[in-house]
Chains A and B, each alone.
Chain A
Amino acid sequence: MNDNFIKLEIEAKSENVSLARVVAAGFLTPWDATVGEVTDIKTAISEAVTNAIIHGYAGAADSSIVTMELSVKENILSIKISDKGVGIEDIESAKEPLFTTKPEMERSGLGFTVMESFMDDVKIESNPGAGTTVTMTRKLGAFK
């Protein structure tokens, strides 16, 4: 299968998260990924895009853009989700299971834990006031 790349820009609205998931599933179609792989990838994307919307932009959609880039190179899927929101003060604590800055919204603090268990690698880059980029990779067809 040939390598491929797409970039999607979405307004930071919660109803757009499902679109990001659908686009990712469509992008993966030629690679014949298993249902389980697609679900894992959709879940990880859902976590990162939701975080950008509710934490990065704190729910303010006006001219707030979340970018999703997907690429496949030799069976390795790379996902990059970025926002230009508030950024993360302390990345190490943010990654801790059950750590959340929005307990009143019934967040469980498990988003990064889910991303890390469903993807092979998760990298977080963030600068307070400038935004956050989460890069994740996953080998396709690893269970075939």
Chain B
Amino acid sequence: MGLQIDIQNRVLVANLSGEMDHHQTERMRAQIDAAFEKSSCRHILLNMAEITFMDSSGIGLIIGRYKNAEKRGGKLALAEMSDPIARLFEISGLAKIVLKTVTVTDALLVLGGTQNE
């Protein structure tokens, strides 16, 4: 469980792992926000590949990071969602505000394309 963050192409990439429940999202949120704050990135990409469980606490985290990116005129993208996470994504209506991509590379391409809008 944990979080590894790097910056690629001026996109803040958060590689999440573990269970996105109330307990673990608190720390994930603090780490993502601190890194975003320090960076000059506009976009945030959440790599969900290593997430083994998610409930509505994860939806809350996603909406919160979307708002932070939006404040800088950026977007939030989610990559590598498993089937159960994709289902929660649909139920919650996140599809309206968050970019859903298959791989991290896809996400960087899409976000790169919106960099100079």
The answer to whether B23 and A15 have CB atoms under 8 Å apart is: yes
**Which A residues form the contact surface with B (CB < 8 A)?**
14-15, 17-18, 21, 36, 39-40, 42-43, 46-47, 50, 53-54, 105-108, 110-111, 113-114, 117
**Which B residues form the contact surface with A (CB < 8 A)?**
19, 21-23, 26, 29, 53-57, 59-61, 63-64, 83-84, 88, 91-92
CB neighbours of B59 from chain A (8 A): 108, 110
CB neighbours of B54 from chain A (8 A): 43
What 7 A-B pairs come out closest when comparing CB atoms?
A14-B23, A106-B60, A46-B55, A110-B56, A106-B64, A108-B60, A108-B59
Knowing A14-B22, A36-B84, A50-B22 are in contact, say whether A106-B56 is a contact too (CB < 8 A): no
**A39 contacts which of B63, B84, B91, B92 (Cβ < 8 Å)?**
B84
The answer to whether B61 and A106 have CB atoms under 8 Å apart is: yes
The answer to whether A43 and B84 have CB atoms under 8 Å apart is: yes
CB nearest neighbor in A for B26: A14
Knowing A50-B57, A108-B63 are in contact, say whether A18-B91 is a contact too (CB < 8 A): no
Tell me the minimal C-beta distance from A26 to chain B in angstroms: 15
The answer to whether B55 and A114 have CB atoms under 8 Å apart is: yes
Show 11 A/B contacts (Cβ-Cβ < 8 Å), sorted by A. Answer: A14-B26, A17-B23, A18-B19, A18-B21, A18-B23, A39-B53, A40-B84, A43-B84, A46-B21, A53-B22, A107-B60
Roughly how many angstroms separate A43 CA and B88 CA in the complex, as a whole number? 10
Tell me the minimal C-beta distance from A82 to chain B in angstroms: 18
Roughly how many angstroms separate A43 CA and B59 CA in the complex, as a whole number? 13
